[in-house]
Amino acid sequence: MTGRSVRWTAIGCLALLLAAASGCTASTARETPSPQAPTVGPTPSATAGWWRVGGEVTRLASRIHTPWSVVPLPGGGALISSRDDGTVHELTAAGDLRTAGVVPGVVSGGESGLHGLALLSDADDPMLYAYFGSETDNRVVKMPVLGRPGELSLGQPEVVIDGIPRASTHDGGRLAFGPDGFLYVTTGDAQQREAAQDADALAGKILRITVDGEPAPGNPWGNEVWSLGHRNVQGIAWTADGTMWASEFGQDTWDELNRIQPGGDYGWPLVEGVAERDGFIDPVAVWATSDASPSGIAAVGDTVFLAGLRGERLWQVDTHAGALAHDPVAALDAYGRLRDVVAPGDGSLWVLTSNTDGRGSPGADDDMLLRVELTVSG
């Protein structure tokens, strides 16, 4: 048994709650659920309420090397990035896994490589955006998605934004289109701690840009920066009320779930966790770093789901509860490190494991894309 501590804050108050749950180590045998073809249907994310994981875990794909990001496709299936070799896989609606393409210029090393994907859906001209580490920097490119489902390929890349500092750790890398239609890009401090507080630097930020890489209208400093003071954000999502949320890796003490405001300063490297200091926005929830190390997040209704790497847990957080009701998802305890979680819109979550990234103990079928059903509590 492993004690897992969670510290929560709400506006105007601070609460400390302890969650004791059955632990799971990297050497735990991986369960291998039956495969199931991936589908995408009507999204429940616009429906407010406390959504929870329920039902059996099923497997959509297996034996994916160093997966980092999964993007559902409108007609069913998904695109999945592999960090170390720059491959973008197509998971077909029939459940087959094939190579759609390899992103040119990816140079992996340490935690860097091919990271987040985001799809700009258009029936006539769909475009895939990808964040990756090149030889000299981190950058975002866009590539046309060509062909029919089951036979997809990628066109030539075009640079959207470059010059994002790169290092062996703290490279950020999550991409998502917000409700406003702009592209949000998370960056790490790339071991340049002071850059996180510099509004003119790209490191340690959440960026908000147009589809062509220009600063989005209304950005607080007139450049690409939306918020600053971040150490390493790897997850962003929006709840049904339009609130933006971000997960953040702490250093030694607290991992964070933050409510993102334009122009907000989230404190790094001057503070970690809850500081109650003027000028900084405190996290809404924090975890001991051994319990989370959160990467991708998803939002459905009022609930935020966080995929934990070191913590080997999926956490579900009710953002409208008075003290932020929370619960680890026991059904996913046996699958090791969790890298990404997405809500494909069919009343389920897809969860991407991360046991082949050099820090886990992979089983024979790792890494896997898993599916779990959701239920709404009110």
Residues 90-112 have pLDDT tens digits of 999 999 999 999 999 999 999 99
Strand order in the sheet with 87-91: 67-72, 78-82, 87-91, 97-102
Using CA atoms, how far apart are residues 199 and 204, in angstroms rounded to an integer? 10
Q: How confident is the model at residue 124 (pLDDT cuts 50, 70, 90)?
A: confident
Q: How confident is the model over 10-21, as a mean pLDDT?
A: 32
Q: How confident is the model at residue 324 (pLDDT cuts 50, 70, 90)?
A: low
What is the percent of the chain with per-residue pLDDT over 70, rounded to a whole number? 86
Q: Identify the weakest region by mean pLDDT among 44-48, 81-85, 265-269, 270-274.
A: 44-48
Say whether pLDDT at 176 is over 90. yes
Using CA atoms, how far apart are residues 149 and 16, in angstroms rounded to an integer? 48
Tokens for 182?
A: 């702009």
Q: How confident is the model at residue 28 (pLDDT cuts 50, 70, 90)?
A: very low
Using CA atoms, how far apart are residues 68 and 64, in angstroms rounded to an integer? 10
Say whether pLDDT at 265 is over 90. yes
The answer to whether 72 and 78 have CB atoms below 8 angstroms apart is yes
Q: Identify the weakest region by mean pLDDT among 8-17, 241-250, 262-271, 358-367.
A: 8-17
Q: Identify the weakest region by mean pLDDT among 33-42, 56-65, 257-266, 289-298.
A: 33-42
Question: What are the angstrom distances between the C-alpha of 37 and each of 9, 33, 58, 62, 75?
Answer: 40, 13, 10, 12, 12
The mean predicted confidence, pLDDT, of the chain is 88
Q: How confident is the model at residue 10 (pLDDT cuts 50, 70, 90)?
A: very low
Q: How confident is the model at residue 158 (pLDDT cuts 50, 70, 90)?
A: very high
Using CA atoms, how far apart are residues 356 and 372, in angstroms rounded to an integer? 22
Using CA atoms, how far apart are residues 130 and 160, in angstroms rounded to an integer? 9
Question: What does the pLDDT read at residue 75?
Answer: 87
Using CA atoms, how far apart are residues 235 and 293, in angstroms rounded to an integer? 11
Place of tokens 């609460």: 15
Place of tokens 């809850």: 274
User: Is the peptide bond between 162 and the residue preceding it cis, with omega within 30 degrees of 0?
Assistant: no
Give this prediction's pTM: 0.90
Using CA atoms, how far apart are residues 217 and 55, in angstroms rounded to an integer? 43
pLDDT tens digit sequence for 199-231: 999 999 999 999 999 999 999 999 999 999 999
Question: Rg of the chain over CA atoms, in angstroms?
Answer: 19
The answer to whether 153 and 213 have CB atoms below 8 angstroms apart is no
What is the percent of the chain with per-residue pLDDT over 90, rounded to a whole number? 80
Question: What does the pLDDT read at residue 40?
Answer: 44
Q: How confident is the model at residue 25 (pLDDT cuts 50, 70, 90)?
A: very low
Looking at per-residue pLDDT, the higher value among 15 and 250 belongs to 250
Strand order in the sheet with 183-186: 175-177, 183-186, 206-209, 225-227
Find how far residue 15's CA is from the centre of its chain: 26
DSSP 3-state of 95: coil
Question: What does the pLDDT read at residue 38?
Answer: 56
Place of tokens 């894309």: 369
User: Is the peptide bond between 74 and the residue preceding it cis, with omega within 30 degrees of 0?
Assistant: no
Question: What does the pLDDT read at residue 3?
Answer: 37
Q: How confident is the model over 286-292, as a mean pLDDT?
A: 93
